[in-house]
């Protein structure tokens, strides 16, 4: 398991200018996003979707531009410094992927997560065609950085390894307590609690 180091080694708070993006897909409804007000960093457990790679300089530049655009949309204080610099992005980030953390029929909740270069080839991603028919990739754990954007920290299980996936519950969780939270970042009344270090369920 990859430990949280490098881009993930700093503790911090994210605010409503932090850029946490949560999307809902239901039939043909448009996507919308929910940003937190004041919360501790957030953990994510879910299955990866189709990967968008940043192989060329142009793709990296476009990826970082999208990263900044997402933050600009969310940020109220535009004077606040960006945590992840362009150079760090180019050096450490290999792509971006959607991560589904809730699915019931056609109803899906997902969010975007950056993929570090050292994890790119360790994770199995579904093809675009497979994703159209609810295909999913491996189960991963991710953590928000100080900009409030998810970065994958670990590949937890192969997508079809049921002996492994039963130890985890897809969802959003508070980093400090491991308590499961909803898309509005409020504690769920009957949610699970996970071990923040391993992402495994501690109690249901």
Convert the pLDDT of each residue in 58-91 to its tens digit: 999 999 999 988 775 555 444 556 788 999 999 9
Number of other residues whose CB lies within 10 A of the CB of residue 84? 20
The DSSP output letter for 168 is -
Of 73-82, 144-153, 159-168, the one with minimum mean pLDDT is 73-82
- Find the largest Cα–Cα distance for the chain: 48
Q: For residue 103, what pLDDT band results from cuts at 50, 70 and 90?
A: confident
Mean pLDDT throughout 88-95? 96
pLDDT digits (tens, 9 = 90+) for 24-52: 333 333 332 333 443 468 999 999 998 99
**C-alpha–C-alpha distance, residues 152 and 26, integer Å:** 25
The DSSP output letter for 4 is S
Count helices and strands (H / E) in the chain.
4, 12
- Closest by CA to 62, choosing from 95, 19, 111, 98, is 95
Mean pLDDT throughout 141-164? 93
- Please state, rounded to an integer, the average pLDDT across all residues of the chain: 78
Strand bridging mode 107-116 / 150-157 = parallel
């Amino acid at each position: 398991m990859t430990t949280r180091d490098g881009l993930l080694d700093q503790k911090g708070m994210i605010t409503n200018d932090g850029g946490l993006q949560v999307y809902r897909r239901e039939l043909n409804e448009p996507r919308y996003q929910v940003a937190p007000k004041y919360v501790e960093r957030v953990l994510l457990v879910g299955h990866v979707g189709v990967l968008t790679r940043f192989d060329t300089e142009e793709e990296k530049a476009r990826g970082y531009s999208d990263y900044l655009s997402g933050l600009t949309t969310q940020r109220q204080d535009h004077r606040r410094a960006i945590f992840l610099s362009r150079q760090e992005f180019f050096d450490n980030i290999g792509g971006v992927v959607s991560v589904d953390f809730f699915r019931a029929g056609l109803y899906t909740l997902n969010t975007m997560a950056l993929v570090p270069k050292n994890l790119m080839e360790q994770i199995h991603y579904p093809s675009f065609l497979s994703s159209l028919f609810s295909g999913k990739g491996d189960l991963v754990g991710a953590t928000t950085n100080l900009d409030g954007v998810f970065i994958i920290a670990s590949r937890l299980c192969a997508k079809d390894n049921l002996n492994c996936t039963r130890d985890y519950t897809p969802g959003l969780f508070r980093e400090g307590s491991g308590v499961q939270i909803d898309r509005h970042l409020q504690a769920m009344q009957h949610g699970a609690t996970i071990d923040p270090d391993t992402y495994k369920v501690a109690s249901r």
